[in-house]
Amino acid sequence: MSEMRWGVVEALLDFVLVQEPCTRDEWPVLEGLLDRLAVAVPRGAGFPVCAGEMPKHDQQAWRQMICQRFPDFGFYSEVPPLDEQGDPITDLEVVHMGDAIDDLLDIALELDRASWCRRHGAPHDGERYLSWAFSTHWGAHLRGLQGYLHHLIY
């Protein structure tokens, strides 16, 4: 499972970081990669400890690259967050919006960090980072982006 997991991570990074604009015909490829990633992420692997200091990313450069790759992507309606009791927060003055570019940026950066941990740390470091970052950050981006793509494609 581990090699398959990292194959999906690398395939998604390769797809997102291509230098030419993504066509509508390629959107199902992205959808499939995101679906495979959602299944491949280990759950409950614990807090990550990566050897050494992770490299800093130039987020503006990555954002610009992703904007150029996905020029048709934009904002979308998002499911409202839940309160402590698990009920939706339905403040009528707040519109919950997702941003497909920001979603892709956050997912790509976190996958790149997890890949770095895997290459530079103990064998389980990348798995732990991937699991932890999914549960605390990019998992919500992934789920929102999956819904957005579904509506665009179908």
- Exposure string of 110-127, with b = 16+ CB inside 10 Å and e = fewer, is bbbbbbbbbeebeebbbb
CA distance 57 to 4: 26
How many structural domains comprise the chain? 1
Is 89 inside a domain boundary? Answer: no
For residue 86, is it left (φ>0), alpha (ψ between -120 and 50) or beta? left
Residues 12-70 have pLDDT tens digits of 999 999 999 999 999 999 999 999 999 999 887 677 778 778 889 999 999 999 999 99
Residue 6 belongs to domain spanning: 2-44+59-77+96-153
pTM equals 0.89
- Asked, for residue 86, whether it belongs to a domain, the answer is no
CATH number at residue 36: 1.20.120.1550
Please state, in angstroms and rounded to a whole number, the distance separating the CA atoms of residues 64 and 83: 34
